[in-house]
Amino acid sequence: MFGRQPKEENSPENVEIPDIMFPSEAELEDSSQDDTELSKVSKKEQPSTFKENPEIVTIVEKISGIVSPYFIVVVGLILSDDNFLLGLLLIAVGILALLKISLTDIVGLFIEIKDGLTSED
C-alpha cells in the first residue's frame, strides 16, 4: 500500500548494440595529410584566437588587482560591526594590499626594529 511498486527493468536481451566501424590506421593517416580548404581555414584561425586570449587575461588580471583590495576593505568595514577582530584584520590586509606592502617587507621591518632596539654591547 505505502511501498513503491517495482519498476519494470529493461531486459538485456532487448538492447540493440549498433555496429560501429572505426577507420583503419591508413585511412587516418590519409585524412591527416589531406589539406582541404576547411583544414587550411581552421589552421589560419587558430593563431589569432591564441593571440587575443592572453591580452584578455592580462586585462582581467590588472582589473582584479586594482579592485580586490578595495573589496577586501569594504567587506572588512561591513564585518567590523559583527566581528571586530575579523573586520580589523580584513581592513589591515586590504590597506596593505593597496599600499603594495608584502609580507617580506613587514618581516624586514620587524628585523630592523629588533636590531635597533638590541645593543651589541
CB distance 39 to 30 below 8 Å: no
Q: What is the pLDDT of residues 77-110, one digit of tens each?
A: 999 999 999 999 999 999 999 999 999 999 999 9
User: CA-to-CA distance for 99 and 73, rounded, in angstroms?
Assistant: 12
Q: What is the pLDDT of residues 18-71, one digit of tens each?
A: 677 776 776 666 665 555 555 555 555 555 555 567 888 899 999 998 999 999
Predicted model pTM: 0.48
